[in-house]
Amino acid sequence: MPNTTTNELIHYHSLFRHGVDEKRRVQIPAKWRPSAPDVEFTLILWPNGAQADACLLVLPPAEMNALADKIRAMPFADSKAQALRRLLGSKSANVTLDKAGRICLPEEMAKAVGIDKEAVLAGLVDRFEIWSPERYETVSAVDAALLPEAFKLI
């Protein structure tokens, strides 16, 4: 059974561009890999796969557990909470690293975010994203315009 919890703290820094093989496997940078075997990452189609800026959000176990706790605390009668549960439940998948340090991207998710032969992995400190190179280029331009205001958050 895969290990879904770990106390290991990994910070996801940097930007990587890796090839994607015919089985949709992509290499995870060595410094981003947990030392424990069989740790599951959760891939979430983000924000919903229908927009040009969609990517795969990758949550390590601690972040996924924190998100699940927030979702469990939401009232069942709240229609927005239910929509969020439905999105996160149906547009996510668990993946584990193989012995070579790769994860396999589910076919429908890879198609939805435009990943084919190459992928860009962008560190977000406590999680990371997997992008098609073209979509990452587009979102980077938007990010650059938002940075002056974004820096005011810290």
Render pLDDT for 87-118 as a digit per residue (tens, 0 to 9). Answer: 899 999 999 999 999 999 999 999 999 999 99
CB contact at 8 A, 89 and 68? no
What does the pLDDT look like over 12-48, one tens digit per residue? 999 999 999 999 999 999 999 999 888 899 999 998 5
Q: Where are the domains of the chain?
A: 15-153
Rounded distance, CA 77 to CA 145, Å? 38
Q: Are 57 and 140 in contact (CB under 8 A)?
A: no
Q: CB of 123 within 8 A of CB of 58?
A: no
Please give the structure tokens belonging to residue 32. 């981003």
CA–CA separation, 124 vs 112, rounded Å?
A: 21
Residue 1 has what pLDDT?
44
The pLDDT tens digits of the residues spanning 34-44 come to 998 888 999 99
What is the pTM (predicted TM-score) of this model?
0.89
Q: Which CATH architecture has domain 15-153?
A: 3-Layer(aba) Sandwich (3.40)
